[in-house]
Each structure stands twice: as structure tokens, then as C-alpha cells.
Structure 1
Amino acid sequence: MPAEQAEPRILIADDSLSARDFLKSQLTALRPRIYEAENGVDALEIACSKYLDLIITDVQMPGMDGLSLCRKLKDDPTTQGVPIIILSNLESDQDITKGFDVGAVCYLAKSECKSELLQRVERTLERAALLRGKGVLVVDDSNSIRSVVCRSLAQAGFRVVEAENGREALSRLSSFQPDLILSDIAMPVMDGQTFCKAVRAMELYQSIPFVAMSSSSDRRMLRQMSEKGADAYLVKPFNVEEVVLLAEKLLSDHGMMLLQERSRLTRERTMLLSAIASLIQALEARDAYTRGHSESVASISKSLAEHMGLPPDNVERIVLAARLHDIGKIGIADSVLLKEGKLSDEEYDNIRSHPLKGAQILKPIPSMQSILDAVMYHHERMDGSGYPLGLKGSSIPLDARIVAVADVYDALTSNRPYRRAMSYEEASVVIKEMRGGHLCPDCVDAFMTMMKDSDVGGSNGQKRQRNGKRQVQNAQ
């Protein structure tokens, strides 16, 4: 089951208490929130007042039968998207057809419930979760065709927007981003071929499914639409259920492909970060005085970014950049990196090259593109005296400015061969002096407020020093 369906909300409508209890027992593995109704009238009231993921209904019930309940639910825009499973002792082909005609997604004989109900419910919920909220743009110059197709898609749970021709459809794209496009071919103003070509020319819509509709089954026309970028072709007149099933299949396949791709990228990213983490550990193992520096800078950067109210995605990006901000030091020789005496000009220039080296290491990796700025520019200064490019003021990316404050604070409060670790109070004085010249004023102000709010240093001015891996206390 998808994570968002951990507690599906299911309405069971059946006039038999024992039947409802049996159905509930069959669904316990899903840990659902169950609502019960003993007739169609009560079921309709619950469906109109509660958010539901699924409705399971009997056909023969007093007051309002299951078929009438389905019709009313599918006629109401607020409930027409909720999938309905019909359970019944009526098993003839005619009865089953009636069930599908009123909008049920599944018709199951009660005798098959014990062996098939759970599987059918799981499949229905998974498909509904995958398709929930998907948008379809329907383009056709025929009002009657648009009306029928749009109504059927809306009843299946899709968000639907319509247009009379290709030009109007293009204008709809400015305010509506569809997941699927259904378009007639022969239309005035702009025909379907021109519209399809225009859609495929836009990067945002190059991969979404496009279905062409036409009364012509000419092979040449089919080939032309395929060359323009159409993924499927419907020949008029068609049964509207064909449209719904095709839309569900295309979007399910497309959605599963995207989910699989996202999962693949997540796995690759995790493996990549593990490999990079190993490099960072190897880097910091060269120098006992900087061991744990990257994680500490990442922790402080995270706290500062959150304190500044940045969105979660931005915070995540900044944390990753902070972890990798010194990755370029891998390319610095030990004789230079670990030298305790004064560096020569050439050696100092070598040290100053590590931001650029870091960006060069990460640049070939697609998933690292968003953090290149912070890695490359975290040693730039507000007055333009930093490196590697001498950027000034707001031309320095915010991510880099945040990491710079965290980097300086952690360096000041860490033991070094040439000095002891500063206390919070001592480091604060230095950082305040750097405000506006070296460090971003906004970031420094936010940092000082954050540290004060977290009571680092203590109300009695007690000094806290950091040694080795210990991170800044209470600033996370």
C-alpha cells in the first residue's frame, strides 16, 4: 500500500450487520477507518459529509438501493471521484453491466469476497492514490463530445479542463498543467496536429501522454499524429468508458514510470552520498583538528537556515552543501594542508583553490548541481575581498553566505595547532566584527538571534568550548 493510504477511509453500505462485520474482518490488514451505513440514504449522507477513499456497497438495500446510491454519488461533483465497489448476490451479466453503467469500478459477487475482496480493495486504493488529482485537458470543437468526455472523466476522479480548439487549449496551459491531453484533430482556428506539435515543443509538456481523437481511421493520419508526438489514437464514435480506461492506463503507466525513476534516482543519490561521506571522512582523518568539521558546519547551517524561515527543500540543499563545502581539499597536498608554520604565497594560493576544486569534483554529478554555488562561493566576502571570484554583497548566493557563517563559527570554536578553541562569547565578538565586511549582515543577525534564543553560552555567561567532534550545543 502507498504511504498515503496507511489509514484508508472506507464506507461500507449494507443492510446486514453480519455482512458489514464480515467485510470489516476481511479488511483488517489495511487498518482502515471504517464508516457504516445500513441503507443508501445513510450512505449518501456520510459520503457527502466525510472524506472517503473508497465506498463498498450492496445493491439490495431498503430506502435507496446501491445502484441509485452510485448514480447520486457520480452526479455530485463533491463525491463523483470516489471509487465504488459493488458487492452483490446478483451475478448475471445484466446485473454486472448495470453496476458498471452507474459508475462502479468493480463488481464483485459476495461469494467471492473471502478470496478476492482484500486484493480488489488494495488494487483500487493504489490506483486511486496514483490517479488522485490528475488533470486532463479535453480539446474538441464539439460541445456534446466535450460534455460527455469531461463528465465521464470527472466521475472517474480526474480534474478536467476543456477547450474548443488548439489555440484556446494553449492559453489554458498558462493556468492549468495537465497530466494528460485528449485532443480532436479536425478543429477550427488551430487543428490537433498543430496543437500537438506546439505542445511537444514546450519542455514542460514533452513527456505527458497525448491522445488524438478523430472520426478518421486513415493510416496516414495515424502516422502523422504519431510523428507529431501523439501516444494513442481514439477513433470516433467511441464508448466513453474507452476514454476513461485509456486515460487510467496511460496515467497509471506514466505514474508508475515516474515513481520507478524517482526511486532509482533516490537509490543512486543515497549511494553517491555514502561514497562522498567516505571521502569526507578520509579528508578529515588527515587532520585531527578538523575532524567532524563538515558535520558540525552542516548542523549549524541547518539550524540557521531553518531559523531564517527557508523552505525545507532549501534547508536540505544547504545542509548537503555544508557537508561537502571542503570536498576540494582532497586535492590539496598534505604538506600544504597540514603545515603548521606560515604558508608561502604559492601554498596559500593552493589552499584558496579548494572551493573551485570542490565545484569541479561535483560538477559532473547531475544531482549535485544545486549545491555548486555554496561549495564554490563559501569563501567569498561581502566587501569583495574573498575568493575564488571576488564576488561582492548580494551577488554571493544566500546558501554560500549561510555556510560561511557556520564555517567561521565552527572554526573559531575548534581547537587549532596555533590557538585554543574560543568560547561562544569570544567567537561572537569576532563574528560581529566580521559583519558586513566578511560575513552577510542578515545571516550574522539571524545567527546571533538563533544562538541567543537557544541559550548557547548560558544565561550566566558560562563558557562552552568545542573540542574534536562535539557540535555546537542547543543550536540544532
Structure 2
Amino acid sequence: MNNFRILMIEDSASTRRGMIELLEPLRSEITEAQNGREGLALSQSQKFDLIITDLDMPEMDGIEFCQSLQKNPATRGIPIIIVSAFDSNSDIDLGFQAGAWAYVPKRDAKTTLLSTIQDVRSKFRFHHERLILVVDDSRLVCRLVKEGLEKAGFQVVTAKNGKIAYELVKQRKPDLILSDLDMPVMNGFEFCEALHASAQEEYASIPFVVMSTISDRGHMKRIIRRGAASYIVKPFNIDQLVILVERLLSDQFQILLKERERLETERTLMLASIASLVSALEARDPYTRGHSETVARIASGIARMLKVSHEEIEMVTIGGRLHDIGKIGIRDDVLLKPGALIAEEFDIIKQHPIIGANILKPIPSMTEIVSMVLYHHERPDGKGYPYGLTTIPFWASIIAVSDIYAALRSERPYQNSLPEDKALRIIRNSRGTQLTEESVDLFMAWHAAESHSVE
């Protein structure tokens, strides 16, 4: 700890000598002051790495000294250790409220002061090397969070919206981002998504913490799905925030974050591989080429009409593309048969939802998509397959109506493409039997809106 400068404020000369002896192993440069006023003047004229102060002193006591130090941005981040004979809970609380990093009773100084300094020094070095970007359109929030984090030793920069924040990220990559959601120009959702969509892959690895007044659990889950590392509900106290920031910047969290990125990369690669399988499947049968993309387009269009989250739209799109992936396991003489299937052959075809679900189950976070693949041939009248369900998961029912309409409007070896009005009539007549009432109503609303937009 060479060149480590300590300011020691204590009105008793003998106590100062005793503590200086205790700190000899640090080989630090120690400057002495007899009271808070003298210590404050020294702290403003010289640079110190650590301050040790008593509480009960003439002219300016330790609490007033700490409070004065916190008011000055130049000295706010200096770690303070209080060493005092006053060690009641209320005294200790006052010390921490005034800005102390640690509190050592004088009776314990011989055994704990040296190790406390080493711990504080290590923690301060960790904090001081970390840059935090605070993004909020409220000047008050930015100022309070900035002051609190600087007091804890962090470097802090602020921005009033996501667009400005993104430019700051390009200039110097922060170690962590604290962002509000509801902001003008570019909100927190858009900022987080921009980081994850950037060509600079390291931006996606920055821990992104959302600060919001909304405490709804579903809302929090949607934020985390978009790439946020954590969520803190306003109003919060700075101590809570500092603890959260320390945890997110810890080595262990960084390991977990990298693991999450690895799993997401694996998921993306696996989905790309499965999409290739779908293309290979459709290449076997020229009559079904492009069918899965059509189903995905219709289903995702209904999802957009419902104004669901970006993640749900993406999930439904993937579900549409992969709904028939199980047909990859159906032999050609059955799958490509030009005429009507006999009962035994139809039983084989009815296995494709199960085969598809089994292909997708090993992939993390594919539960909803597995449900779409497995149940998109179930019917509310119980005559569907593979299980004859009468209650069908919502998105599976949306895939079902999209699938049937796409099939009706395409050329098949056993069926010509139907005109639009006839296909729509079949969809309407299937309401409550082959298709759920809700899915038919939503499809018809989507189709009407789509037709109107084309006109």
C-alpha cells in the first residue's frame, strides 16, 4: 500500500500516536489533524485515499466533518472510517448516515482497525474503478443517485434519455447502467433493446438495471426478458441501490451473466439449425414450401394486433415457423402421398406434434413454443390430436387458425387453392368446433384490418 495517504483526525495526541503505530504495516503516509475543522481544511487542500476520524472533538465534531465532506463533490467519494469511544447503536447509525464506510469502537481498534482499513481499501478500489451510467429524465433523480453512488466511491455519468445515454456508451463503455423506463426521445425499453441489437457485442454484456415506479411482477419479467439484469422499484434508498450494484458488479454475477449469454447464443444457434430443418422439410414437398413462413406471418400479425410484448411476438413468430417441425420424422411415403391417407397412415401423421415437441423440449426457454407445436391440431370439440383436448392453450389456437387458413389458400396434391371468400367461410363455420371461438374472432379481425391496409 505504498503512496496510500491517510488523514487521521483525533483530538488526543496519544491516541493518534497509538493508531499510527497500529498502522505501520501499511507503510502509508499519514497526515494528522486535531479536530474536524482542521481536517476539513486539509481534505480540501490535499488528496487523501482514506480518512480516519473520531466523533467527539472540539470546534467541529466527526459527524459535522463527515457531512461537510459529503457536500463537496471533490471529497464525497473519500472513504471514511470512524474510530470512537461512542459505540451505541444510535452513535453507529449516525456515523453511517453521515457517510462513514466503517465504524470501529476504540476498544477494538488494536484488533480490528488494520483489517478494517484493508477491507475498505479493497472495496474502494473496486468501486473507484467502476463507471456507472445513470439514465433518467428527472434531474432530481439523477442528482440524488449520482451523489449516493459517488459517496460510495463509484464514478458516475448521467443522461436524460436513452439516445444521449447510447452516445455516452459509445464514447466510454460503462460497467453498469441504471435506467428509468418512461423517458422522452428514447425510453428505457428502447435503450436496452438498442444495446442488445448493436453490432458492438460487448454492449449487451453491460448489466442493465431498471429503475421504475411499477412494481408489477409480470412487468418485471418482461423487462428481464428484454435483457435487463435486475429491477429496482422507486422510491428506493441509496444503501439498497449500492448493495444491488455491488452484487451485479461482483465476479460471481459476471460469471452468471456470461453463462446466460452463452445459453442465449446456444439457443439462437439451435433455432437456426431447426429453421434449416424446416426448410429441408419443405424442400421435400413443393406443395408446402413457404407454408411455415405464412403461418408465422399470420400468427405474428394477430399478436401485433393484440399489442403484446416484443418478446411474445417473437415467440409466436418462432412458433409459426416451427409448428410442423415434427413432420421431419414422418416417412416420405406417408408425408408425400398424393391421395387420401388410410387410417394407419393418418395415425402416423398424427404423431408429428409429439415429435416436434420432443425436438424442442431440450432448448431452454422454449416452453411456450413447445405448447404451440404440441397442441396446434387440438380442437375445442375434442376431435383433435394428439390428445383430444377440449381446452387449448391460447397461442396454440392462434397457430391452428393460421395453419388452416394458410393450407386452404395453397395448392395441395389433393386440393386446389380455395378462393379467399370460400376459405374465410370455412374458417367461420369452424368456430367452436375445429377452431376456438376466440381464435376465429381474432383471425377475422386481423384479416379485415389486413385487407383494409392493402386497399
Q: Compute the TM-score of the two structures, normalised by the length of structure 2.
A: 0.53
Is 1:156 the equivalent of 2:155? no
Matched residue, 1:208: 206
Matched residue, 1:102: 98
Shift of 1:31: 1.3
* Correspondences of 1:20-419 after superposition (within 5 Å): 20-201=16-197, 202-253=200-251
Shift of 1:120: 0.8
Shift of 1:134: 2.2
SS of structure 2 residue aligned to 1:173: helix
SS of structure 1 residue aligned to 2:20: helix
SS of structure 2 residue aligned to 1:174: helix
**Deviations, residues 445-468 of structure 1 (Å, cap 9, x unaligned):** xxxxxxxxxxxxxxxxxxxxxxxx
Which amino acid in the other structure matches residue 249 of structure 1?
Answer: R
Q: How many residues align?
A: 254
Q: Output the CA distance in 1 between the equivalents of 2:251 and 2:215.
A: 25
Which amino acid in the other structure matches residue 76 of structure 2?
Answer: Q
Matched residue, 1:13: 9
Shift of 1:136: 1.2
Q: Output the CA distance in 2 between the equivalents of 1:139 and 1:247.
A: 15
Shift of 1:257: 6.8
- Checking the alignment, whether the CA contact within 8 Å between 1:84 and 1:104 is kept in structure 2 is yes
Which amino acid in the other structure matches residue 78 of structure 1?
Answer: A
Structure 1 range deviating more: 152-161 or 12-21: 152-161
**Deviations, residues 357-407 of structure 1 (Å, cap 9, x unaligned):** xxxxxxxxxxxxxxxxxxxxxxxxxxxxxxxxxxxxxxxxxxxxxxxxxxx
- Checking the alignment, whether the CA contact within 8 Å between 1:16 and 1:38 is kept in structure 2 is yes
SS of structure 1 residue aligned to 2:53: strand
SS of structure 1 residue aligned to 2:70: helix
Pair 1:146–1:86, CA change in 2 (3 A): same
Q: Output the CA distance in 1 between the equivalents of 2:236 and 2:80.
A: 24
**Deviations, residues 125-156 of structure 1 (Å, cap 9, x unaligned):** 01111221421111112222122111111222
- Checking the alignment, whether the CA contact within 8 Å between 2:127 and 2:152 is kept in structure 1 is no
**Deviations, residues 397-427 of structure 1 (Å, cap 9, x unaligned):** xxxxxxxxxxxxxxxxxxxxxxxxxxxxxxx
The structure whose RCO (Cα within 8 Å, separation 6+) is larger is 1
**Deviations, residues 261-310 of structure 1 (Å, cap 9, x unaligned):** xxxxxxxxxxxxxxxxxxxxxxxxxxxxxxxxxxxxxxxxxxxxxxxxxx
- Percentage identity across paired residues of the two chains: 44
Matched residue, 2:306: none
Pair 1:15–1:121, CA change in 2 (3 A): same
Q: Output the CA distance in 1 between the equivalents of 2:141 and 2:148.
A: 11
The list of structure 1 runs, each at least 4 consecutive aligned residues, that deviate by more than 3 angstroms after superposition, is 252-258
SS of structure 2 residue aligned to 1:107: strand
Q: Output the CA distance in 2 between the equivalents of 1:200 and 1:118.
A: 44
Shift of 1:36: 0.8
- Checking the alignment, whether the CA contact within 8 Å between 1:130 and 1:252 is kept in structure 2 is no
Q: Output the CA distance in 2 between the equivalents of 1:73 and 1:174.
A: 33
Q: Mark the runs of 5 or more structure 2 residues left unpaired by the alignment.
A: 257-455
Which amino acid in the other structure matches residue 211 of structure 1?
Answer: V
- Checking the alignment, whether the CA contact within 8 Å between 1:200 and 1:206 is kept in structure 2 is yes
Q: Output the CA distance in 2 between the equivalents of 1:207 and 1:235.
A: 22
Pair 1:49–1:81, CA change in 2 (3 A): same
Q: Output the CA distance in 2 between the equivalents of 1:93 and 1:156.
A: 22
SS of structure 2 residue aligned to 1:213: strand
SS of structure 1 residue aligned to 2:205: coil
- Checking the alignment, whether the CA contact within 8 Å between 2:247 and 2:253 is kept in structure 1 is no
- Checking the alignment, whether the CA contact within 8 Å between 2:66 and 2:100 is kept in structure 1 is yes
Shift of 1:68: 1.1
Q: Mark the runs of 5 or more structure 1 residues left unpaired by the alignment.
A: 259-476
Q: Over aligned residues, Cα RMSD in angstroms? A: 2.1
Shift of 1:83: 0.3
Matched residue, 1:406: none
